[in-house]
Amino acid sequence: MWICFIIGGLVIAMGIVLLTGRGAFLVAGYNTASKAEKAKYDEKKLCRNVGKIVLPAGVLTIALGVVIAIGMQEARVEVTDTNVKIGGMYGLTVEFSEITDIQLIESSMKTIGTGVRTNGIGGIGEVNKGYFRTTHYGDAMLFVMVNSSPTIRIVRDERDVFISFSDSEATRALYEELMAKRT
């Protein structure tokens, strides 16, 4: 994530230099061309046009860093009388009427088997969020800190939902709250 901010900042700086009509040494191909070849081009115009491409690329790189930073946050879970709302990226609402079982598994998702990410965030840091084809439970939605245990499994007909926090006591407290509201 931080690498996106660093690279994005450097690319934006290069874009600004190019937009001022300077920095021709940054333009690949032009910087190695002979003097005769360079004479065929308006250097300031070339730099400005390349800057118009480079600057947005830097902004997009920083935007990617922001998306990754948001995605890497732990899920926000709110339990109401009728449902469980999981906020943030890939969030969803699960009605208690859809739930067939709630289990507290005394293992991390890494031990359980995250399987294959089909649409989500995973493999960067400890967070796995989104749609996964788990090793033992099939298609599921994960909102987990991969190395943290225990893990809550919400069983439903559509696809199971797994939740864990970096703080094991917070996971246990959520499990207790879910069990109390479910009955």
Break the chain down into helix, strand, coil percent, rounded to 5.
Answer: 40, 30, 30
* pTM score of the predicted model: 0.76
pLDDT for res 1 = 67
Per-residue model confidence as pLDDT tens for the chain (183 residues)? 688 899 999 999 999 999 999 999 989 898 899 999 989 999 999 999 999 999 999 999 999 888 888 777 888 999 999 999 999 889 899 999 999 999 999 999 999 988 899 998 887 778 899 999 998 999 999 999 999 999 999 999 989 999 999 999 999 999 999 999 876
Cα 79 to the center of its chain, rounded Å: 24
